[in-house]
């Protein structure tokens, strides 16, 4: 009898809906949560954010990333999202003092929204489609050999950067050896070898939504210190979609000409037809307001990225 290969657990971070709910509700119950998230999203000048650890801030290393970085830092792009490299070596051998600062896999990249979205706990039914867009962006990018080569180059760059930051010749040699292994195997990784996760407030390190994209078969040299706090991206999406619809806004006054029942009906039919033709992936603009993913004004953050001490 042929032996069945054990299926790879493709969603190792799934099964945490109660914790997702708890963190979501705890965040939403904070006094200024909504106002601060909205100020970050709109990049409201002069908004005063409470000075609390892990709280919403005006700027982060990922805020308006596309305005401050060139193509060398961007692995892929869609209408509202970017794919970027993770800021760590994948090999714990290079982090003798703090192994948890290593990456979560030999291939560990991040997807971020271009718009200023704070964290998965501040997503709403209107903005949650960014998760599907980020996953679709990764899947499309990974099919491109050029992107995989760019990821390889980024991984090597992070190994060298970590060696420069914390000289550890032994660990450096080990990481380079493992990197050669990655070179041999990376093009054999398919999109289904990846899983997607979030660090929900207050477990996050950067106060701008970022989705961790982690190759599940190549984690043996990396850290599992963050696994417990990592939440499966699809589970987070489904949780946000399970939230009750926000209360309907009071109806705007109708134009007297539309009071004719036939024309109202016609307008409603037209609306229905329009919403039926919506693209599957993408952001649904709220009628009558500005689009949700309009990038905010530019911010200058030249040195913040370079000087970040901790792993993301």
One of 16, 101, 178, 199 touching Zn ion (CB under 5 A): 199
Closest CA to 252 of 291, 287, 276, 290: 287
Q: Which of residues 213-272 bind Zn ion (CB under 5 A)?
A: none
Stretch that binds Zn ion, among 39-47, 127-135, 176-184, 196-204 (CB under 5 A): 196-204
Which residue number, 103 or 296, has a Cβ lying nearer to Zn ion? 103
Spell out, one character per residue from 129 to 168, where the chain touches Zn ion: x when CB under 5 A holds, - when not: ----------------------------------------
Nearest position to Zn ion, beta carbon: 199
Element (H, E) at 148: helix 145-165
Minimum distance of Zn ion from residue 102's CB (angstroms): 14
* Kind plus residue range of the DSSP H or E element containing 213: strand 211-215
In the bound state with Zn ion, the residue whose beta carbon lies nearer, of 163 and 212, is: 212
Choose one: 6-14, 98-106, 141-149, 198-206; the region binding Zn ion (CB under 5 A). Answer: 198-206
Name the residue nearer to Zn ion (CB basis): 114 or 163: 114
| Interface stretch with Zn ion, choices 76-84, 139-147, 157-165, 193-201 (CB under 5 A) | 193-201
Residue 50, Cβ neighbours under 10 Å: how many?
12
Long-range Cβ pairs for the range 301-306 (8 Å, 24+)? 301/59, 301/61, 301/63, 301/68, 302/68, 304/59, 304/60, 304/61, 305/61, 305/87
215 in Cβ contact with 194 (< 8 Å): yes
Distances (CA, A) of 229 to 91, 128, 201: 20, 20, 10
Output the smallest distance, CB 210 to Zn ion, in A.
5
Cβ 207 to Zn ion shortest distance, Å: 10
Binding residues for Zn ion, rule CB under 5 A, total: 2
**Residue 223 CB, nearest distance to Zn ion (Å)?**
13
What is the side-by-side strand order in the sheet with 81-85? Answer: 76-77, 81-85, 108-113, 211-215, 194-199, 230-232
Site string (68-97) toward Zn ion, x via CB under 5 A: ------------------------------
Residues linked to residue 211 through DSSP beta bridges, in sequence order: 111
Nearest to Zn ion of 172, 239 (CB atom): 239
For residues 128 and 241, the answer to whether their CB atoms sit within 8 Å is: yes
Q: State the DSSP code for 87.
A: S
Selected range binding Zn ion among 174-182, 194-202, 268-276, 296-304, rule: CB under 5 A: 194-202
d(CA 14, CA 68): 34
Q: Least distance from C-beta 9 to Zn ion, angstroms?
A: 21
**Closest CB 261 distance from Zn ion, rounded Å:** 53
For binding to Zn ion (CB under 5 A), which residues are involved? 199, 312
């Amino acid at each position: 009898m042929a032996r069945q290969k054990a299926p790879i657990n493709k969603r190792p971070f799934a099964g945490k809906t109660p914790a997702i709910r708890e963190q979501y509700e705890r965040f939403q119950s904070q006094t200024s949560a909504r106002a601060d998230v909205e100020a970050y999203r709109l990049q409201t000048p002069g908004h005063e954010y409470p000075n609390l650890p892990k709280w919403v801030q005006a700027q982060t290393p990922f805020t308006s990333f596309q305005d401050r970085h060139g193509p060398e830092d961007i692995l892929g792009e869609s209408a509202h999202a970017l794919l970027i490299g993770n800021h760590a070596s994948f090999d714990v051998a290079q982090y003798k003092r703090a192994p948890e600062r290593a990456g979560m896999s030999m291939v560990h990249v991040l997807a971020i929204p271009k718009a200023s979205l704070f964290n998965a706990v501040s997503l709403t039914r209107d903005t949650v489609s960014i998760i599907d867009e980020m996953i679709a962006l990764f899947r499309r990018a990974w099919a491109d050999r050029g992107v995989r080569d760019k990821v390889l180059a980024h991984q090597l760059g992070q190994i060298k950067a970590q060696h420069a930051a914390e000289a550890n010749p032994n660990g450096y040699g080990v990481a380079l050896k493992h990197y050669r292994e990655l070179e041999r195997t990376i093009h054999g990784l398919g999109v289904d070898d990846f899983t997607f996760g979030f660090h929900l407030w207050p477990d996050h390190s950067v106060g701008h939504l970022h989705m961790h994209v982690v190759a599940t078969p190549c984690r043996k040299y990396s850290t599992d210190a963050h696994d417990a706090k990592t939440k499966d991206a699809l589970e987070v999406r489904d949780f946000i979609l399970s939230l009750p619809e926000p209360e309907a806004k009071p109806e705007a006054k109708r134009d007297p000409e539309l009071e004719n029942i036939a024309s109202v009906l016609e307008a409603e039919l037209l609306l229905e037809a329009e919403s039926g033709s919506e693209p599957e992936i993408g952001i649904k603009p709220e009628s009558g307001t500005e689009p949700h993913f309009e990038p905010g004004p530019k911010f200058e953050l030249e040195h913040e990225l370079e000087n970040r001490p901790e792993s993301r």
